[in-house]
Chain A
Amino acid sequence: MAQAAAVATPPKVPRRRSANPRRLPYLLIAPAGLLMLGFIAYPVAGVFYYSLQNYNVTKPWRNGFAGLDNFTRIFTEDDQFWTTLGFSAQWVVTQVALQLTLGLALALIVNQTFIGRGISRAMVFSPWAVSGVLTSTIWILLYNSSTGFSRYLADAGIGDYGTSVLSDTGTVFWAATVAELWRGVPFFAILILADLQSVSKELYEAASVDGAGRLRQFFHITLPHLRDAIVLATLLRGVWEFNNVDLLYTLTGGGPAGETTTLPLYVANTGIDGHDFGYASALTTVAFVILLLCSIVYLRLSKFGGDHK
Chain B
Amino acid sequence: MTAALAEKNGTDSAHPPAPHTRPPAARRRREPGRERAFDEVPRWQIYVPLGIYLVFTLIPFYWMLLFAVRPAGSTSLVPWPMTGEHFSKVWNERSFAVFFQNSMIVGVCTLISTTLVALAGGYALARFNFKIKNAFMLALLCSQFIPGALMLVPLFEIFKNLRMINSLGSVVIAETVFQLPLSIILISGFIKNVPVSLEEAAWVDGCSRLRAFCAVVLPLLRPGLIAVGSFAFVHSWNHFLFALMFLSEQDKQTIPVGLNTLIGADSVDLGALAAGGVIAAVPVVIVFAFIQKWLITGFSAGAVKG
Task: Give chain A's interface residues, CB within 8 Å of chain B.
Answer: 1, 3-4, 7, 17-18, 21-22, 24-26, 28-29, 31-33, 35-36, 38-44, 46-47, 50, 102, 105-106, 109-110, 112-114, 118, 120-134, 136-142, 144, 147, 149, 152, 182, 190-191, 193-195, 197-198, 201, 204-205, 207-208, 214, 228-229, 232, 236, 239, 242-246, 249-250, 264, 267-268, 271-272, 277, 280-281, 284, 287-288, 291-292, 295, 305
A182: chain B residues at CB < 8 Å are: 56-57, 60
B144: chain A residues at CB < 8 Å are: 236, 239
Q: Which of B3-11, B118-126, B214-222 contacts A (4 or more CB under 8 A)?
A: B118-126
A102: chain B residues at CB < 8 Å are: 53
- A243 near B147 with CB under 8 A, answer yes
- B155 near A4 with CB under 8 A, answer no
- B50 near A110 with CB under 8 A, answer yes
Closest partner residue, chain A, to B181 (CB atom)? A36
Q: Which of A44, A114, A201 contacts B47 (CB 8 A)?
A: A114
- B135 near A40 with CB under 8 A, answer no
B153: chain A residues at CB < 8 Å are: 46-47, 50, 271-272, 277, 280-281
12 contacts between A and B (CB under 8 A): A1-B136, A3-B131, A18-B209, A26-B124, A46-B154, A124-B57, A131-B238, A134-B280, A136-B263, A138-B277, A195-B300, A268-B149
- A25 near B124 with CB under 8 A, answer yes
Within the complex, what minimum Cβ distance (angstroms) separates A33 from chain B?
7
CA distance A35 to B132 in the complex (A): 17
CA distance A131 to B279 in the complex (A): 13
CA distance A42 to B173 in the complex (A): 14
Closest partner residue, chain B, to A44 (CB atom)? B146
Proximity string of chain B (272-306) to chain A, C-beta cutoff 8 Å, 1 when within and 0 when not? 01101100110011011100110111111001111
Closest partner residue, chain B, to A217 (CB atom)? B38
In the complex, whether B165 has a CB less than 8 A from a CB of chain A is no
- A197 near B176 with CB under 8 A, answer no
- A29 near B240 with CB under 8 A, answer no
Closest partner residue, chain A, to B118 (CB atom)? A32
- A31 near B121 with CB under 8 A, answer yes
In the complex, whether B54 has a CB less than 8 A from a CB of chain A is yes
- Beyond A44-B146, A46-B157, whether A131 also contacts B41 by CB under 8 A is no
A142: chain B residues at CB < 8 Å are: 59-60, 63
In the complex, whether B94 has a CB less than 8 A from a CB of chain A is no
Within the complex, what minimum Cβ distance (angstroms) separates A134 from chain B?
5
Q: Which of A127, A141, A152 contacts B274 (CB 8 A)?
A: A141
- A198 near B150 with CB under 8 A, answer no
Within the complex, what minimum Cβ distance (angstroms) separates B178 from chain A?
8
Closest partner residue, chain A, to B295 (CB atom)? A190
- Beyond A120-B50, A138-B277, whether A43 also contacts B238 by CB under 8 A is no
- A126 near B57 with CB under 8 A, answer yes
Within the complex, what minimum Cβ distance (angstroms) separates A60 from chain B?
15
CA distance A246 to B174 in the complex (A): 16
In the complex, whether B46 has a CB less than 8 A from a CB of chain A is yes
In the complex, whether B266 has a CB less than 8 A from a CB of chain A is no
- Beyond A3-B135, A36-B143, A204-B38, whether A43 also contacts B158 by CB under 8 A is yes
- B135 near A138 with CB under 8 A, answer no
- A39 near B276 with CB under 8 A, answer no
Within the complex, what minimum Cβ distance (angstroms) separates A207 from chain B?
8
Within the complex, what minimum Cβ distance (angstroms) separates B41 from chain A?
6
Proximity string of chain B (255-276) to chain A, C-beta cutoff 8 Å, 1 when within and 0 when not? 0100110110000101001101
